[in-house]
Amino acid sequence: MTIHREGYKSIAITGILFAVINLISFYFFSGEMPVISWIIFFATLGLLLFMISFFRIPARKLTFNENQVMAPADGKVVVIEEITDEEYFKDRRIQVSVFMSPANVHQNRSGVAGEVVYNQYHKGKYLVAWDPKSSTENERHSVVIRHPKGEILFKQIAGALAKRIINYLQVGQKVAQNEEMGFIKFGSRVDILLPTDAKVNVQLNEKVKGGVSVIATFA
């Protein structure tokens, strides 16, 4: 397991706060109120361990198949439906949405190999990520990757807690399947917009792993 570079600053700040708070706590409370000192210690230790866990990048064997779309993120499948995309395609698409809880790995990956043909950040609201309106009203970052068998839109969506979306891709860039696409801090969701003739390989409430689980197969 490694720590994602986006977490270095957050973990360092949390570590400093952990040390300072506990030095003060043990100095003032350890003598007369040791229970309070220990409560503060375990609470702050829990926060530090959570931060380390949140930015973890576990070692895993990735799945590669040019005829399949891999999961761009860890989480639970919360939406599988046919929708009309108003942002880029202007036609019908199959939307598969993966919800990431704070306990999930938050690194986002490119589900297919190809060329980035669209990359757009949108300001917006911070509705809870499972709200259907979050796909079109929340802060989000959309990327379209042109694959030989069709274009796929990946949409990183902010939630009630996730208020920083990081995307590393640029228009014209060639990306490999499962290459890092970005990172969303503190829980949210990723939408995948597929061609209507694609075969969806997941079910509602199924847990998926980024770069490992197969979301869909091209027709």
Q: Measuring CA to CA, which residue among 130, 191, 129 is closest to residue 156?
A: 191
Tokens matching residue 4: 């994602």
DSSP string, 13-62: HHHHHHHHHHHHHHHHHTTT-HHHHHHHHHHHHHHHHHHHHHTEE-----
The question of whether 10 is a catalytic residue gets the answer no
Residue 205 has a CB neighbour count (10 Å cut-off) of: 9
Residue in 110, 142, 188, 213 annotated catalytic:
188
- H or E element in which residue 166 lies: strand 165-167
**What are the catalytic residues?**
188
